[in-house]
Amino acid sequence: TCSVDRLLILWKLRTQCSAYRFSGHAEAVTSVEFSPDGRVLASASQDHTVRLWIPCIHGESSVLKGHTASVRSVSFSHDGYSVVSASNDKLIKIWSVCYQRLLFTLFQHTGWVCCAKFSPDGRIIASCGEDKSIKIWDTRNKICINTFSDYEGFPTFVDFNPSGTCIASAGSNNTVKLWDIRTNKLLQHFKVHRAGVNCISFHPSGNYLITASSDGTLKILDLLGERLIYTLHGHKGPVLCVAFSKGGENFASGGVDAQVLLWKTNFDTLDYEEVLEHNFRRTHIDDPPHLLDVYPRSCHFHDEKITSIEVDPAFDVPDTQTPDPVIIDIRTSSYIST
């Protein structure tokens, strides 16, 4: 996890809980991600830098300098060889992990860039910014090959579905949109939050999407059924980030309340229609076209009339707050050797 307290914390999620607190950034840390093999961490910060860390007690890290403003997001390519960063300097930079140097820069955004992500095959990068645009980039030719515009607000977060055929974007105007990048069609448009959406995460199956919002809730969307199925309460204030585990069995969320909540996924094993019946709630929606229809007739707008199961750990399920872990402070001491 990362925080405005300038620290990264690596948590050991076992009964004997412990945590390793890494310091090195001079300002708030805005984004952190494990490499696909779990051997390296990348972090972005308002101190204008990206750092690569080896998550061990020696505190080895390398600083990647090149941005001239706050770095908003950092993300690995799926082979782990590259990292993409997005910054308030309106630039996207791609870095080599092995050689810890800048490979190339992408520039066409006219506002702060909020997020940038690699596609699963690494050939495409999707980015979004406060210029109200989502851009698709060809990493081989280093050019922008397509732009989606969002005139209602600006996109705050973007990510690819596991197959790499679609991208989902979160918006400051309370919306979540799903685009087919093969046909450049807007597939789905959900407006189920009452405040801006800050982060989204695809379930590894690609059938579900979870959203984190400033309205204090998380929502789980069934993409194939085109419906909202769960609304999750627990954070006291805006929820800033959410991510599924690699296998999809769990997901974690972080908020302005300085809490990290770890949730267990159950919608893959339970028939949510039965759960709805158990909770005396039902959904009544016309059958929509299939998500994977390559040529949808039109985009489908989902407003707040959709009902969902509301889960509040304080009432519905036991909320297990972990005891304060043993915290080991680690200061960055040396550079990662190539």
Choose one of 107, 127, 156: the last residue of a domain. 107
Q: Which residue has the higher pLDDT, 12 or 332?
A: 12
Contact 28, 6 (CB under 8 A): yes
Q: For residues 101 and 119, state if they share a domain.
A: no
Q: Do residues 91 and 134 both lie within one domain?
A: no
Same domain, 152 and 293: yes
Q: Does 42 share its domain with 158?
A: no
How does the average pLDDT of the chain come out, rounded?
87
> Would you state the structure tokens that stand for residue 250, as one six-digit string?
């769990």
Whether residue 331 sits in one domain with residue 209: yes
* Number of separate domains in the chain: 2
- Same domain for 2 and 140, yes or no, is no
Q: Which of 107, 127, 162 is the last residue of a domain?
A: 107
pLDDT tens-digit readout, 93-147: 999 999 999 999 999 999 999 999 999 999 999 999 999 999 999 999 999 999 9
Q: Is 164 left (phi over 0), alpha (psi -120 to 50) or beta?
A: left
What value does the mean pLDDT take over residues 156-165? 96
- Assess whether 145 and 269 both reside in one domain: yes
Residues 56 and 176 both lie in one domain: no
Q: Give pLDDT tens digits for 255-312.
A: 999 999 999 998 656 555 555 554 443 333 334 333 333 333 345 555 545 567 888 8
pTM of the predicted protein model = 0.86
Answer yes or no: do 76 and 168 share one domain.
no
Residue with tokens 């204030």: 237
- Are residues 45 and 25 in contact, defined by beta-carbon separation less than 8 angstroms? yes
CATH, residue 4:
2.130.10.10
Domain that holds residue 301: 114-337
Query: Which range is least confidently modeled, 32-46, 56-70, 214-228, 311-325?
Result: 311-325
Which of 72, 92, 107 delimits the end of a domain? 107
The confidence score (pLDDT) of residue 332 equals: 78
The answer on 302 and 165 residing in a single domain is: yes
* d(C-alpha 241, C-alpha 232), whole Å: 14
Q: Can you tell me the distance from the alpha carbon of 179 to that of 119, in angstroms, rounded to the nearest whole number? A: 14
pLDDT, one tens digit per residue, over 17-64 is 788 999 999 999 999 999 999 999 999 999 999 999 998 888 889 999
Same-domain check for residues 215 and 246 = yes
Tell me what pLDDT residue 293 has: 38
Q: Residue 250 pLDDT > 50, yes or no?
A: yes
Q: 172-202: per-residue pLDDT in tens?
A: 999 999 999 999 999 999 999 999 999 999 9
